Amino acid sequence: MEFKNLLLRKADGLGWMTVNRPDKLNALNRETIEELLEAFKAWREDEEVLAVIMTGAGEKAFVAGADISELAGLDESSGREYARRGQELTMVIENYPKPVIAAINGYALGGGTELAMACHLRVGAETARLGQPEVKLGLIPGFGGTQRLARLVGKGRALEVILSGRMISASEALSWGLLNRVVPADRLLAEAEALAREIIKNGPLALGLAIEAMNRGLDRPLEEALEIEAEIFGQVCATEDAREGTAAFLEKRQPRFRGQ
Ligand code: COA
């Protein structure tokens, strides 16, 4: 698969997805959004990819937002459609049946923070800067920022970030739980990979179903959410992987999961 704005690489169970417009700090233009949708679709059923690591090309940016040159011409209806398409991408990532890890190597602003928040885990370089600066452009976040940021860090902090438009440091983001961990910039990809490798040792179906249970339950009343968990727990119990994982423990050996 060849993309204009993405670099894709598969290696030893991991899919590396790099947004590759370093001259524009990896800003998301429409074409890049379409390519990301396409790439996630292609890897969904790809058995060579057990987890995805997303990052940005170059040293400066993960993704410095939606492409402002495209935002400049939007009106009410094209703006709504633009937001919907970006939101669709974030939903695809959030509900992806394989873990998606953002390796944030610099600026993650606007759409960059929104993309990172849709990922299941976020590892930041010490140089990472996050933020939702849309109000500085007279806009608001449109790829889920007003919703996911509040869910991740609480309404008070989210409103501070969105209303001030200020950038948050990696250490502040870590203390809020917006980043899972922060590492020196030159260790970022290695640390993201180590985390991904720890995860992909586990049952692949279980990983996808754990993500599904959490996503489906989180915004519902606890009783309904627990019902969803019980239903999905039943599904996972019927898999070969569950039989293999439990048998391997009892037989004191390593499991060999096949994703079945
Ligand atoms: N959309 C389009 N182009 C962008 C961009 C974006 N979101 N972010 C950066 N770029 C472009 C710049 O226009 C510049 O292009 P040019 O060289 O053709 O002029 C190039 O990327 C480098 O950016 P520059 O601003 O020169 O780098 P910097 O180190 O001085 O500043 C930032 C870095 C991130 C602080 C600054 O680029 C910025 O504020 N970007 C916009 C962030 C934003 O508002 N994002 C939310 C959009 S909704």
Cβ 167 under 6 angstroms from ligand 1: no
Q: How far, in Å, CA of 151 to CA of 139, rounded?
A: 21
Q: Supply the residues annotated as catalytic.
A: 114, 134
pLDDT score for 91: 98
Residue 107 Cα to ligand 1 midpoint, Å, equals 10
pTM: 0.97
pLDDT score for 123: 99
> Token pair for residue 63?
């993704």
Residue type, 58: G
Question: Residue 96 burial (CB < 10 Å; 0-12/13-18/19+)?
Answer: buried
Phi, psi of 123 (to 5 degrees): -110, 130
Q: Which atom of ligand 1 is nearest the CA belonging to 109?
A: 45
Above 90 in pLDDT, residue 53?
yes
Mean pLDDT of 183-200: 98
Residue 105 Cα to ligand 1 midpoint, Å, equals 15
Above 90 in pLDDT, residue 81?
yes
Cβ 68 under 6 angstroms from ligand 1: yes
Residue 112 Cα to ligand 1 midpoint, Å, equals 12
pLDDT score for 32: 98
Above 80 in pLDDT, residue 1?
no
Cβ 134 under 6 angstroms from ligand 1: yes
pLDDT score for 2: 81
Above 80 in pLDDT, residue 43?
yes
Q: Which atom of ligand 1 is nearest the CA belonging to 60?
A: 29
pLDDT score for 174: 98
> Token pair for residue 69?
């040159």
> Token pair for residue 36?
């990301």
Percent of the chain residues topping a pLDDT of 90: 99
- Residue 67's pLDDT band (cuts 50, 70, 90): very high
The 10s digit of each residue's pLDDT in 155-175 is 999 999 999 999 999 999 999
Cβ 19 under 6 angstroms from ligand 1: no
Residue 176 Cα to ligand 1 midpoint, Å, equals 26
Are residues 256 and 225 in contact, defined by beta-carbon separation less than 8 angstroms? no
Are residues 176 and 117 in contact, defined by beta-carbon separation less than 8 angstroms? no
pLDDT score for 55: 98
Residue 144 CB coordination number (10 Å)? 22
Above 90 in pLDDT, residue 135?
yes
Are residues 115 and 52 in contact, defined by beta-carbon separation less than 8 angstroms? no
- Residue 37's pLDDT band (cuts 50, 70, 90): very high
The 10s digit of each residue's pLDDT in 211-246 is 999 999 999 999 999 999 999 999 999 999 999 999
3-state secondary structure of 84: helix
On average, the pLDDT of the chain sits at 98
Residue 254 CB coordination number (10 Å)? 9
